[in-house]
Structure 1
Amino acid sequence: MSEQIHVEQRGRVLLARLDHPPHALMGAGMVAELDQLVGRATDDDSVGAVVLTGAHPERFIAHYDIRELLALARSAPSLPESLAKASIGAIGALERIPGSGAVLERTPAAGLSQLRGFHDTMTSIGRSGAVFIAAINGVALGGGCELSLACDLRLISDDGLIGQPEILIGITPGGGGTQRLARLIGRGRALELVLEGRPVPAGEAERIGLVHRVLPRATLLDEALATAERLARRSKPVVAACKRAVLEGGNLPLEMGLKMEQAAFVSSLGHKSTQRAMEAYIAEMNASGDVAAANPAMRDRLVDGTFIDFNGE
């Protein structure tokens, strides 16, 4: 099988081009490579951010490969929703047994195992200390939309389309689309988009909060890389803690979310790089007689990440 994600490292940024010609479809092979990419970005101290974009000139990811889904549908038993939920939990327990993955792949449970794998990879993006940016160069539907929703930032070309069309062929979104979409834009609007199944144009996507920025196609990748370069200078442990507090803590009752935030704050104070940053800030403040908020030069260095090297710890 040919490589479906082409990765090049530019400083502390990994540029990953999603490449599955001719239609730019996502499948199990690409998901496996995505999982490896997320692991690399998380574990490699020389990586602070990842930019995902499509190798296809007009597509980020068209959608998940329906041929693979149909094959899974034909091989898997028909289950009511309650039993399917229990089965997914049981497979999760089995997967913790060494060597069980190869066995599951030869059974009707292979489809459920693949689904869990997709979800685990998307969840890992949200827990990684690396910042993930989706540079959506055109169409991102179905699995492509779900991948972008798992990323921390979404930038889209001005001719782009994004959405969850699964209902149009009689299935629900299965890669986190309903849950991340509802948490991002609200349940009412999310349900409308899922039921309609229509692609959302870039301008509307920005207006409803589905994407962060709409950019001309010609400058999309440069803008994404510039943003990634800046955010890649942040402290990776603190990035991971911020993502957990917002993405996971934000779905908890307020009191529990606040406790998660407090724990992250106290933990961040223990990082040597954090203490160096505070010492440097105080020294600069004493030398200039001013604070960052009123000192444009100092403020710019803080924002662009050149004030302190967090990655020398």
Structure 2
Amino acid sequence: MLTHLHTLSGHQNPIYALSDGLDPNTFYSAGNDKGVVEWSLERMAFVKVLVPVQSSVYALHRFENLLFIAQRSGVITVFDTVENVIRATLSFHKRAVFDLKTIAHKQELISTGEDGNVAVWSLKDYSLLYNFNVINDTLRVIAVSNDETEVALGCKDGVIRIYNSSDFAFQRQFTGHKMPVTSLQYAPMGTFLVSGGRDAQLKFWNLPGYELQNQVGAHMFSIYGIAFHPSAPYFATCSQDKSIKLWSSEDLKLYKILSLEKRTEGHFHSINKLMWSKDGRYLISTGDDRQVMIWRFQS
């Protein structure tokens, strides 16, 4: 179902972030290096350093032709991938920014990170529209519901907090994990939210009420990524335990483990991020070993 196709090297330090490109054959990676790198899936090769940055990059997020680059310094760089220019520099967070998401119908960008604050930015003129404090500690991840009506925040205290996207009014909270929430994703079918934590657990929350539906001891250490296949009923997870796992999104059956310990190809250090190509043909993973690995998917 997943077989190793290619390993891309070139980064000199750990990699924390991936993003797809406007071109379906292009994707981006970034981390402790001083630049965002563009890669070609068509040629399985390095293309160029897209844009230099001043500090480590913890998140990348693309919306249309704009690539948002979240940095350890708290700065968010807005880069136009068509014109190849920096459109704006967003400054509000005083500490590292860990995640970025857009609410397309409102033309808004949401950011959060180590300062425990959420900032809401206009995609029209890049102004700061609104900000609020959630906790006095790290907010690691953001997930936006499929209909864009709700925003879920995964917090260091193990709590998942839900806000209404129309006015960011608080709606509910529930204890998701015994340790920090490190990954969060709404299922494409719109029936549940899945969370992963430093406690190595995956938890599945029914929608719309967010009742705990199921939980799985999925990994040995922190779960850093959850990615649903764009068309097939599967999702992948990655972990600090250096493994990637492929699951059924219908019955949560475990189909595949990719790990050096299981004598497959794999990463030799923490896997920090993974994503699917737009056409679902490839899974892309990266982490502390400075490698970007491409896996071919066949159902």
Common topology (TM > 0.5) = no
Work out which of the two has the higher radius of gyration on C-alpha atoms and give 1 or 2.
Answer: 1
Q: Which has the higher strand share?
A: 2
What TM-score bracket applies, with the shorter chain setting the length? under 0.3
Question: Normalising by structure 2, what TM-score?
Answer: 0.24
Question: Normalising by structure 1, what TM-score?
Answer: 0.23
Q: Which has the higher helix share?
A: 1
